[in-house]
Structure formats: structure tokens, C-alpha cells
Amino acid sequence: MGVDFSLWLSDTAAIPASGRAAAAWARINDKPTSVTFRKPDGTDLSAQTVRLEYDSRVSESETPAGQTPVRKLIIFGVKDHDTVTDTDIGEGYRFNYQSDAYRVVDIIYTIGEVQAVAEAIG
């Protein structure tokens, strides 16, 4: 006798965006960092709470002097939360963290969360 997966799947509801946002906000507050982003037009935004994690993947940049390592951060923000304002972040935004300047190079939108990749700029 086999298992009828269609019955199991039909009884499973998707987690709403607000629930996923609440889970993302909990992860952010486990290791919160206050960041002030500067938009490409030079406008500074109000400080926002995000989670920053160093990207441990090896990446290199080609310069006239040769290859140099590129320090990257992953930024975790929230969207569609019931009580928390969506994280305002976009490609080209800049910010400082631990004496280094970073520029956001990619944005990833997921349900209830926004993630971004930032590279250190020299």
C-alpha cells in the first residue's frame, strides 16, 4: 500500500509573507546591526536594523597590480512584516561597517525577507 502524497500536499497551506517576515526579523535581532545606507544620489537614509554576515566564499578582483581578494557581506533585511518597516536597500547603496566602505551589488527578494550582497570598496 503506497502513500497518497496528493492528500498530504493538499492539506499543507503556504506560510504567509507576514509569518516569514516575523521569522526573518527574529533572525535579524539575534545579531542586529544598525546601518545607515547612502543612496546613489547621495541621500542618506535613516539608520536601519539589519543582520550582516561575512561571505566566506573566495572571490578575487582583477586590478592593474594583479588579483586581490574582495571582502563581501550578506545583508539580511525584512519586508512585509506586520509592524516593522521594510528594509530600504537597493543596488548601488553604500554604507560603512567596521572601518570598511561597502557597496551593494545585488539584491535578492524572498517571501518576507530581502537579502543583499555588498562588496568592500577601496
Chain-wide mean pLDDT for the chain? 87
Domain 13-121 belongs to what topology?
A: Thrombin, subunit H (2.40.10)
Kindly list the domain boundaries of the chain, sorted by start residue. Answer: 13-121
The torsion angle over the Cα atoms of residues 30, 72, 97 and 39, rounded to 10 degrees, is -100
Tens of pLDDT along 70-105?
Answer: 789 999 999 999 999 999 999 999 999 999 999 999
Reported confidence tier of residue 16, pLDDT bands at 50, 70, 90: confident
| Reported pTM | 0.80
E strand map for the chain = 33-35, 48-54, 60-63, 66-69, 72-78, 94-97, 100-110, 113-121
